[in-house]
Structure 1
Amino acid sequence: MAVLPILRWPDTRLKTICEPVNAGEDIGDLIADLFDTMYAAPGRGLAAPQVGVMKRLFVIDVSWKEAEPSPMVFVNPRIIETSERKSDAEEACLSIPGITTTINRPDWVVMVWTDAQGQEQAQRFDGTWARCAQHELDHLNGIVTLQHLDAPTRKAAESRYAVQP
């Protein structure tokens, strides 16, 4: 389909809580565009608000860079359970290019969502899959990685970002 421009922080749309996708809403072209854009970036996940569409939809494919592609579509996702144990790991964001930050997140999550065919799904995600799903869900709630940082760490990251081309 098309590779879309990715919004860059601090675009105000990245701070907006997205609206649900309505049942029967035609999102097929948007899903294709999200995958095209994500792979071209190249990223492991991309949320609709990152391309200016304020809908609760994201795509991920955590494994495509090292193994067989495993693309997944998440419509109106929500987390219903998380591990008590949390871990730190580095995260990057296509909307904040050039900046990697260490974020503390639950090690696993159970998520429910509707897939591209309109079927309800539920699955536990671990490791990188869990981290990626949480990162993209944050975008649907108007949250970027910088907002997970304490004030001094965020200020330092924003300073590095401000000098990026």
Structure 2
Amino acid sequence: MSLRDIVTLPDPVLRQVSKPVERVDSEARKLWDDMLETMYDAPGIGLAAVQVGVPTRMLIVDLAKEGEERKPLFVANPLITWSSEAQSDYEEGCLSIPEFYEMVSRPSEIKLSYVGWQGEAQELHATGLLATCLQHEIDHLNGVLFIDHISRLKRERVIKKFAKAQKLGKL
């Protein structure tokens, strides 16, 4: 496993739509391992492959708090097959938009089909923070950032701030 650099706003790779995973093999599992190490080091609770510069439909999630047993979820080719009408609000942040947090409303429950670590088809019913985190990471795979779910004014301010920081060499 090795640490990878996390791509940050305003890098255009974050707006790319990721391509499907052909098969889960040793190369895909190596990417997941690298992503996991990178996410734990950041620290974060979710990471999409595009955030480490690989626009492929892979993500990882681990909601374990410090001191708890880690339980990573490895997801390839996720597809939300159902989402609740009920919404949940969470203050979201993103490793690709460091130190910026904002309330985002998303469906409180989802059903997800995906391909797991061994290349097997999986289904998952997610609620609460897990549902929010999965939706956040799947958005990344579609070129969508959590700031796209906030007001245009706030979004423009944060994009401008990160563009200025990049220009000044602070990113």
**Residue 158 of structure 1: CA displacement?**
3.6
The separation in 2 between residues aligned to 1:54 and 1:160, in whole angstroms, is 25
**Residue 154 of structure 1: CA displacement?**
1.7
Give the alignment of 1:1-150 within 5 angstroms.
1-25=1-25, 26-65=27-66, 67-150=68-151
The separation in 2 between residues aligned to 1:24 and 1:85, in whole angstroms, is 34
The separation in 1 between residues aligned to 2:68 and 2:158, in whole angstroms, is 31
- The gaps in structure 2 that reach 5 residues or longer are none
SS at match of 1:102: strand
AA aligned to 1:155 is: E
SS at match of 1:27: helix
The separation in 2 between residues aligned to 1:136 and 1:114, in whole angstroms, is 15
More displaced stretch, 92-101 vs 25-34: 25-34
TM-score w.r.t. the length of structure 2 is: 0.90
Per-residue CA shift, 1:27-60, capped at 9, x if unaligned?
1210110000000000001100000001000000
The separation in 2 between residues aligned to 1:89 and 1:66, in whole angstroms, is 23
**Residue 64 of structure 1: CA displacement?**
3.7
TM-score w.r.t. the length of structure 1 is: 0.93
- The gaps in structure 1 that reach 5 residues or longer are none
The separation in 1 between residues aligned to 2:64 and 2:24, in whole angstroms, is 30
RMSD of aligned alpha carbons: 1.6
The separation in 1 between residues aligned to 2:153 and 2:87, in whole angstroms, is 21
| 1:17/1:113 CA distance change after superposition, 3 Å | same
| 1:146/1:110 CA distance change after superposition, 3 Å | same
More displaced stretch, 122-131 vs 149-158: 149-158
> Is the CA contact 1:64–1:70 (under 8 Å) kept in the aligned structure 2?
no
> Is the CA contact 1:80–1:110 (under 8 Å) kept in the aligned structure 2?
yes
The separation in 1 between residues aligned to 2:67 and 2:78, in whole angstroms, is 26
